[in-house]
């Protein structure tokens, strides 16, 4: 059960980089907020939050549970709380998602931070 704490800490750490990058994009493009809002509504139903990944009845659910990066992030926190260890596929998928979000969010922030005063 204690494995959920470092996983949650990594997710929060990477979320800081994602929010910095998305905040900079939102400062540059005013309609970006509406795009993020629409994507969050869709991702809420595509990510296995309301259904278990083991209940893969259809092809869409199987694809969503396997290739959705948010599903891996949720699963590395959810499975230790349920008394199990996360699978290697979920650990690798979450690690790649966290690494990519830190790289992309950090790069967007580094390249755009000097221009933010002109965008606001």
Is 82's pLDDT higher than 80?
A: yes
The whole-number pLDDT of residue 8 equals 93
CB-side exposure of 22: number of CA atoms within 13 Å? Answer: 15
Q: What would the two tokens of residue 42 be?
A: 């869709």
Task: Output the pTM of the full model.
Answer: 0.81
Q: What's the rounded mean pLDDT across residues 44-61?
A: 73
pLDDT value, residue 66: 78
Long-range Cβ contact pairs of 112-116 (< 8 A, separation 24 or more): 112/24, 112/25, 112/28, 113/24, 115/28, 116/24, 116/27
pLDDT of residue 44: 83
């Amino acid at each position: 059960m204690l494995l959920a704490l470092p996983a949650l800490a990594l997710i929060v750490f990477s979320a800081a980089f994602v929010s910095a990058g998305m905040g900079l994009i939102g400062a540059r493009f005013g309609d970006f907020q509406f795009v993020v809002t629409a994507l969050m509504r869709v991702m809420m139903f595509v990510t296995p939050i309301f259904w278990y990944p083991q209940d893969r009845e259809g092809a869409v659910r199987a694809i969503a549970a396997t290739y959705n990066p948010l599903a891996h992030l949720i699963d590395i926190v959810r499975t230790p709380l349920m008394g199990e260890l996360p699978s290697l596929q979920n650990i690798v998928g979450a690690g790649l998602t966290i690494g990519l979000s830190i790289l992309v969010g950090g790069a967007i922030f580094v390249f755009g931070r000097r221009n933010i005063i002109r965008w606001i």
